[in-house]
Structure 1
Amino acid sequence: MTDTRDETRYEPQAPLAVAARSACPRCGRGHLFKGFLNIAPRCDVCGLDFSFADPADGPAFFVMMTTAVPAVAFGLWLELTYDPPLWLHFVLTLPVVLITCTLPLRFFKGWLVASQYVHKAEEGRLARPVAPPPAEPDAPGRR
């Protein structure tokens, strides 16, 4: 059995589809995660090294903007409309906030890692100034 990981051509994967399956962004079959949110060191099918992946705080930002704001708005609406006792907030609002803010993290993290791979994202580099070309000497008789 020969290892043909580097010679194999892989079909391009859509970042959203890869994120929904938590799959490898190169082959689409391997596992992207080891655990709930820990990125695996490499794909268990094609061997892609995931050390390029650094979504940083991106998943938390997207979750906060898409699900945390409505979840907290639900708690505020509940409080202002019905003025329930505090224990009801612990029973209703707290689970809504925890569930809606925790479950999408894996999807958004997978989406950002897949997008980094597909678009070949890497750290920014400072552009070095280019030296100007040498000035041409003045032609005789020109001033």
Structure 2
Amino acid sequence: MTDTPEDGPGPRSPASLIKAAALGECPRCAAPTMFRGAVQFADKCGHCGLDYSRFNVGDGPAGFLTLIVGAVMAILAIVVDQMLHPPFWVHVILWVPLTIAMVVYGLRLAKGALLIVEYRRGAREAQSRGDGGGE
């Protein structure tokens, strides 16, 4: 494997960014080591040692994505109910697992893509100046 510079070989296309995020590829070496769980980041890359904890992805994607998935699922549930009139239990076994799967997979994509973009752009967490923050 060749050694890549710290800021990587350059920007990825949107398709490769989504693919890399879905597969959990390290932004430095492309090894699938970014996640240790469904949506929980590993501490560092097991292949090249990139420290994932230095990136601040935050919880923004979770709230935003949950609202989007909730709206889509509600619309789909209403359409299915109006067209097919299924019993309530069909809605439960259809929409609950589908919603959970879409939120978890969407979070994996969003968090992975944000970490990759932060790495590519060299983004870092803000540092305090240590002077009390006053004027």
Q: Scaled by the length of structure 1, what TM-score is found?
A: 0.68
Shift in alpha-carbon separation, 1:77–1:34, aligned structure 2, 3 A = same
Counterpart in the other structure of 1:26: 28
The alpha carbon displacement at 1:67 in A equals 3.3
* Conserved? CA contact 1:23–1:29, under 8 Å: yes
Counterpart in the other structure of 1:3: none
The alpha carbon displacement at 1:82 in A equals 4.5
Shift in alpha-carbon separation, 1:116–1:8, aligned structure 2, 3 A = closer
Counterpart in the other structure of 2:125: 123
Count matched residues.
125
- Relative contact order (alpha carbons < 8 A, sep ≥ 6): 1 or 2 greater? 2
Q: Which has the larger radius of gyration?
A: 1
Partner SS, residue 35 of structure 2: coil
Counterpart in the other structure of 1:12: 10
Partner SS, residue 29 of structure 2: coil
Task: Select between 7-16 and 20-29 the one with higher mean Cα deviation.
Answer: 7-16
Letter in 2 for 1:19: A
Counterpart in the other structure of 1:140: none
Counterpart in the other structure of 2:113: 111
Partner SS, residue 111 of structure 2: helix
The alpha carbon displacement at 1:12 in A equals 3.3
The alpha carbon displacement at 1:80 in A equals 4.1
The alpha carbon displacement at 1:117 in A equals 1.1
Q: Scaled by the length of structure 2, what TM-score is found?
A: 0.72
Map 1:57-76; keep pairs closer than 5 Å.
57-64=59-66, 66-76=68-78
Deviation by residue 1:39-62 (Cα, 9 ceiling, x = unmatched): 111111111111212211233145
Structure 2: gaps (5+ residues): none
Partner SS, residue 36 of structure 2: coil
- For the aligned residue pairs, the C-alpha RMSD in angstroms reads 2.9
* Conserved? CA contact 1:22–1:33, under 8 Å: yes
Query: What is the CA–CA distance in structure 2 between the aligned matches of 1:59 and 1:72, rounded to whole Å?
Result: 20
* Conserved? CA contact 1:19–1:111, under 8 Å: yes
